[in-house]
Each structure stands twice: as C-alpha cells, then as structure tokens.
Amino acid sequence: MTTPLQDRIIRHIKTSGPLPLAEYMHWCMADPKDGYYANQEAIGSKGDFITAPEISQLFGEMIGIWAVEKWQALGSPKSFNLVELGPGKGTLMQDLLRISDAVPDFLQSAHIYMIETSERLVEIQKQTLSAYQNISWQKSIKELPVQPTLIIANEFLDVLPVRQYVKAGAEWREHAVAVDSEDNLVWTLGTGILEKESLPEQSDEEPNGAILEISTIREAFIANTAEQLNKNSGSALFIDYGHTQTGFGDTVQALRAHEYASVLESPGFADLTSHVDFGALAKIAETSGMKVSPIITQGEFLLEKGMLERAGQLGRNQSSEVQESITRQAERLALPEEMGNLFKVLEFGTSENKD
C-alpha cells in the first residue's frame, strides 16, 4: 500500500534526485498535512509506542522532584519559566505538577511553556492540563520571558532527524533515499560528503559500509537551550534512549503498532527515531558555557530521586493487584534490562546552581 506522503516523496525524488535521510525523516515526521505527528495516534497502547510517562505517574513525579530541587537551588524565585519540549499527551507535566500539593509556591511561581509543533497534540495537552492556569503553547523556545528557567524533555531528541554517512572508500557519503524502476523507495549514496574534521578518530579503521550518524538539529536544540539558560539562568534535563559516547552503526528505526517496520515502508504512517548521541550533545552544552553533570542512566536517576519510596507510598492500603501493578511499572522504568539502562539522562545548567 502506498501512503499519500510516499506518492509526494516519489514525485519529488524523480524531479530533484535522491533525498538525504534527514530530509526524508523530517518529511515523514513533521509534514503538516501527511506527516506522522499531524495524523497518527502515536503514543499509548492504541498508538505505535509507549513512553515512560504513559507507563507510570512515578516518572513525571520524579522529574517534579528534580524541578523543585533546581528551583530551590535558584533561590525559589517568585516567577520562573517551566518549559517542556515535545510534551506528547501532557501526562509528564500533569504528574510533575502534582508536586505542588507538597510545594504550593512552586506552582504559584511557575509560568509553564509547552513547546509543541503538532496541533493535534496541543489539543490533547490542553485537555490533560485543563485544571491549570498559566500555561502557554509555543512552537519554539526562542521567545521566553527573561527569568530563571527550567527546561525538560523526554523522548523528544530521538524524533529529530539524523544524517547518516556511509564509508565508501576514502569518503563518507550521505545516506539518501532513491526510487527504483518499480517505484519502490530504496537506499542510495547521496552527493553529500562528510568533512574530515567531523569524523571521529577511529573512522579510518572502520570497514566500507560503516555508518556514522550526526544530528545537527539535535545539536541546535541543545545550543538553543543553553542560550536560553545563559540568558536566564537555570537548568535543563533531557531523557532519551541512546549512548554516552559517539560510535558507529545504524540506529534509525521505524515503529508501527508496537512492531518494528522498515524505515522506507509507509512514510508518514510509522514513527521514525534514532538513538541519541549524548556524548556529542554534552560537548555542545559544555562549549556553550554550561555546567554539565555526568550522564547517568534513567534507572539511576529515578532511584536517586526516590522512586521506590514513592511507589511504596502509592501502594499503601491498596489491593495486592494494585501493588503488583505499581511494582511492575517501577520495574519497567528502572530495571537495567528494561528501560533503566538504555535510557540516559543529560543534565546541564548555569553554574550559579548550587547542587
């Protein structure tokens, strides 16, 4: 079956030549008419994938604890920006704000900014957060009031496009999408070539066909975040799946109805993501003047914030079925063989934060 976007992509390639993977991904995910986030029920059991906040309220609550700690480290300012990038269904923010039951001043001081490009998800977020005032929706973080700022993002970076370069003899050439004689989308090598200076040291030892992924758009988001924090003071927290050091390999994947699919099949209908190179992003944050904390795993982060104690509290006086379900959810989030190790936490901020 061809998708509406597939027809448009094929026509484009026939007139303009192969489409670099990053542009193909951007088109698939962000096209306002036929793109994935404009149309698909992405997140949840009926969607294509499930994210940590949709597994358990414990996740957003632990980020709430992080946010209160950072707000207090900034001197508990009476007015601050609380920003979330790519908030999905708004569940994380809803769970985070539960912290205000214990710390009401935090909520009273917060100006909440939801940065979201999908109109469909903005509507869902508005419903989820209808009990709260002081929330605005924007398409980018460029314009925030100048005041202390906390920025959070979960499974946001992985949806941003990545470029792939394939080793072909002495050159690393950009991976691109072409059309074969039967109108199928197929892989090819494009005309783009990676400059020598952008290659990691070990690249000479890699065999032909080795793949290196670079996401300039993720790097730009980290640089923009750092710019906001430099201007305003504050901290940022990025959680996603990925690796702590730059490496070689193809991590781009397509998910549809909780199953892996081919990246070139059904453009616009499948979720396309790739692993985040946290090592590269930490360097960008550092060169942008940020104090960067060591990258830790999601499991370490959640346990350090007290997830087990909170899980125990939620299960108190509940039936054994409820208690078991809470335990199971906590395990999914934190056990090393589940999400605990694959997901990493990158935290950085301005240095006046007292940890």
CA distance 259 to 114: 29
Question: Minimum Å distance from CB 110 to ligand SAH?
Answer: 18
- Nearer residue to ligand SAH within complex by CB, 25 or 311: 25
Question: Minimum Å distance from CB 115 to ligand SAH?
Answer: 5
- Pairing type for strands 296-297 and 110-115 reads unpaired
Question: Minimum Å distance from CB 56 to ligand SAH?
Answer: 12
Chain centroid to CA 97: 20
Give the other-Cβ count within 10 Å of 261's Cβ.
17
- Nearer residue to ligand SAH within complex by CB, 68 or 93: 93
Stretch binding ligand SAH (CB under 6 A), from 117-125, 162-170, 189-197, 256-264: 117-125
CA distance 163 to 193: 11
Provide the sign of the torsion angle of the four alpha carbons 259, 262, 266, 269, taken in this order.
positive
Stretch binding ligand SAH (CB under 6 A), from 82-90, 126-134, 175-183, 296-304: 82-90
- Nearer residue to ligand SAH within complex by CB, 109 or 235: 235
Residues 6+ apart with CB under 8 A from 349: 70, 229, 234, 235, 236, 290, 291
Instruction: Please report, as a single letter, which amino acid is at residue 109.
Output: S
Output the CA angle 180-186-189, nearest 5 degrees: 105
Question: Minimum Å distance from CB 154 to ligand SAH?
Answer: 4
The pair of structure tokens assigned to 47 is 């969607």
Selection from 31, 10, 35 nearest residue 178 by Cα: 10
Q: Binding ligand SAH by CB under 6 A: which of 6, 51, 164, 266?
A: 51
Stretch binding ligand SAH (CB under 6 A), from 115-123, 262-270, 289-297, 347-355: 115-123
For residue 272, which phi and psi values (nearest 5 degrees)? Answer: -105, 125
Q: Are 189 and 166 in contact (CB under 8 A)?
A: yes
| Radius of gyration, CA atoms only, the chain | 21
Question: Minimum Å distance from CB 17 to ligand SAH?
Answer: 26
Residues 143-162 contacting ligand SAH, CB under 6 A: 154-156, 159
Q: Does 301 bind ligand SAH (CB under 6 A)?
A: no
Q: Does 34 bind ligand SAH (CB under 6 A)?
A: no
Q: Does 37 bind ligand SAH (CB under 6 A)?
A: yes
- Nearer residue to ligand SAH within complex by CB, 164 or 298: 298
| C-alpha torsion angle, residues 143, 149, 155, 157 (rounded to 10) | 50
Q: Binding ligand SAH by CB under 6 A: which of 88, 161, 190, 234?
A: 88
- Nearer residue to ligand SAH within complex by CB, 83 or 280: 83
Q: Does 116 bind ligand SAH (CB under 6 A)?
A: yes
Q: Does 92 bind ligand SAH (CB under 6 A)?
A: yes
Q: Binding ligand SAH by CB under 6 A: which of 118, 225, 297, 353?
A: 118
Question: Minimum Å distance from CB 116 to ligand SAH?
Answer: 5
Q: Does 129 bind ligand SAH (CB under 6 A)?
A: no
CA distance 150 to 81: 6
Instruction: Please report, as a single letter, which amino acid is at residue 14.
Output: K
The pair of structure tokens assigned to 210 is 């080795």
Instruction: Please report, as a single letter, which amino acid is at residue 60.
Output: G
Give the other-Cβ count within 10 Å of 221's Cβ.
23
Q: Are 73 and 354 in contact (CB under 8 A)?
A: yes
Q: Binding ligand SAH by CB under 6 A: which of 13, 121, 135, 214?
A: 121
Q: Does 307 bind ligand SAH (CB under 6 A)?
A: no
Binding residues vs ligand SAH (CB under 6 A): 37, 43, 51, 53-54, 85-88, 92, 115-118, 121, 154-156, 159
